[in-house]
Structure 1
Amino acid sequence: MADRLVCRECHRVLETDDGEQCPACGSTSVTEDWAGYVIIAHPEESRIAEEMDVTEPGKYALKVR
């Protein structure tokens, strides 16, 4: 999992077919330097999603460097 890219802007874990552009926010600022992740299924009901400012379901990195 550590070889996956993560968006530095919204912390979304990118799938291999996403390339190097985030499908969620459109940013091309991505990194392999991240740790931990959370899967958010229902952001409208999630306190974690609220804290992370996440509005779309998906996988998100907890720490991005």
Structure 2
Amino acid sequence: MKLNNLLNSRTFRLGGMANYLTGAAAVLDFAGALHQYNYSASDHEADYLALKSDWDMVGEDLRYAMRRVV
């Protein structure tokens, strides 16, 4: 998978993908004020979204593999 496709995928649903400036600023962020997560309304919703994202990625991998073989 190309890097651009990876960054636009659902892989980084919970934590997100930091850019260079965010990483540089994190060095000086001792209080952790810059670090954010994608929150859900409940534990069940968070589990559902994480599992859905995982299975979506499995499906994408299978489609990619089948296109290469066929």
Question: TM-score category by the smaller chain?
Answer: under 0.3
> Which structure has the highest strand share of the two?
1
| Structure with greater Cα Rg | 2
- TM-score w.r.t. length of structure 1: 0.25
- TM-score w.r.t. length of structure 2: 0.23
> Which structure has the highest helix share of the two?
2
